[in-house]
Amino acid sequence: DPALYPNIATLAQDLRGLGFAFQTYYNTFLDIEADIYPESTSAGYQVMREDGSSYLFQGVKFHDTALLDLENPDARAWAKAVMQEGINEGSDGWMADFAEWLPTDAALHGGADPMLAHNRYPVRWAEINRELLDAQTDGRERLFFVRAAWLGSQPLVPVVWMGDQQTDFSDGDGMPSVIPMMLGLGLTGFPYVGHDIAGYMSQGTLPT
């Protein structure tokens, strides 16, 4: 969005000149208020319901949201084209977020079983990102990192991020949960992981 982010290519170049990589952000949500929503849904790239309607849910921005159907090769190609725009503007990589939300009662491209596709979805998402970065020919080092993975993600994913830990020391999702997750990821073939040192989320009451 050139209005929201003016001179982004210059910003990316300035940051690289200071020794930083310029990272951006992508996920597979199609927010109804996003500029890509009409294009993607009119082309039929979204996950559908059995009745033929878009499978809408309340997304992370609390808007109606659809989900990209990664069983559809045309949808995957379209997603790579969208992310290529970011590279063209100077992106050195990004967080490839989410990919664990595929509903198991959806209707998918080609009649794929949504129960089986649920765990395959983050692998498909990693494939898209890996293929896109591997296709670049400018010699610049680039990186993406993910939140979700499954069997088969290991050769595709450079770094796994461990999610939104609570800003506390609870065993379930606070700082003590980080070390077991790091060990588990290492034992299952993911050599590089990252997490938020001080936590990310709080269970405090939101303002009204």
List active site positions: 97, 100, 164
Partners of 201 in the beta sheet?
166
- Is the alpha carbon torsion for 175, 160, 98, 120 positive or negative? negative
